[in-house]
Amino acid sequence: MAPGRLGLEGKIALVTGGTRGLGLAIAHKLASCGCEILLNYAGSGEQAEKAVAALGEHGGTVTPVRADVGTPEGVATLLRELRHRHGRLDVFVHNAANYTPMPALAPDPGGAWRDLSVALNPLLHGAPALAELMPRGGRIIAVSSTGAHDVVPGYVALGMAKAALESQVRYLAVELAEHGITVNAVSTAKLDKGDSPPPPAVALLAARTPAGRLTVPEDVADVVALLCAPEAAWVQGQVIRADGGLGLRA
């Protein structure tokens, strides 16, 4: 196996919310491992063009697919495009998220349902098609956050959505195991977005992290890629926390 390739050469990988931030870092990592990438996005076409150009340096095929995965129609569009172009899928990374800040005592129901829809619809509506499209050895990986279990101010809607997503991962893991498909999640805390100087709260979290700094998107992308490797076939229905040990602090 070539260094850094993880046995993923020629695999077809789809990343939702893949044109910026953590999604783009995951797409970069999988492309560098030899995957052909389908890059899902719902917003800016210009941002998607930049992402495709950046990923093109790895030499593989990168195909942008615009679809709002918060809707059943968007999920159907995404999977229809996948079936048309490749006829199969080896890796599905569900990274897309919607965040509507709100306190629990003054909720925005519309925003909360949007957060839940983006978190749950891809696997809720896509599971039957994924079971058909994925060969044995397929990988489904959802991106979660520590807000699924820890109380973060203003994070109630997305926290509920991520908690539900983690439950969805466990149920799918049991039903897809007989198909040879693993389903797991990678969770992380606050990400370092490179602000200089960092906001006081970010600096405080970095100081509390045993590894000495906040998590960066590439840290999470590395764990996602490891779960895609053949050697990870026996990891099933787990939520892997990639936070440099921050969650261990009392």
What's the domain count of the chain? 1
Q: Which of 48-57, 79-88, 93-102 has the lowest mean pLDDT?
A: 48-57
The SS3 call for residue 166 is helix
- Residue 241's DSSP bridge partners are 187
pTM equals 0.94
Task: DSSP letter for 82, please.
Answer: H
CATH number, residue 191: 3.40.50.720
Task: DSSP letter for 164, please.
Answer: H
Which active-site residues does the annotation give?
155, 162
User: 32: Cβ–Cβ under 8 A, 6 or more apart, which residues?
Assistant: 4, 58
Task: Name the band, by pLDDT with cuts 50, 70 and 90, for residue 4.
Answer: low
Give mean pLDDT, residues 111-137. 97
Range of the domain at 142: 12-244
Task: Name the band, by pLDDT with cuts 50, 70 and 90, for residue 1.
Answer: very low
| Res 122 pLDDT > 90 | yes
Residue at 24 is within a domain: yes
Residue at 250 is within a domain: no
User: How large a percentage of the chain has pLDDT more than 90?
Assistant: 86
| Token pair belonging to 109 | 């129901």
Residue at 2 is within a domain: no
User: 68: Cβ–Cβ under 8 A, 6 or more apart, which residues?
Assistant: 42, 74
Residue at 23 is within a domain: yes
Q: What are phi and psi of 140, to 5 degrees?
A: -115, 125
| Res 59 pLDDT > 80 | no
Give mean pLDDT, residues 85-107. 97
pLDDT in tens, 191-243: 998 877 778 888 889 999 999 999 999 999 999 999 999 999 999 999 999 99
Residue at 3 is within a domain: no
Residue at 156 is within a domain: yes
| Res 2 pLDDT > 60 | no
The SS3 call for residue 240 is strand
Q: Which of 37-51, 75-89, 139-153, 185-199 has the lowest mean pLDDT?
A: 185-199
Cα 68 from Cα 96, distance rounded (Å) = 10
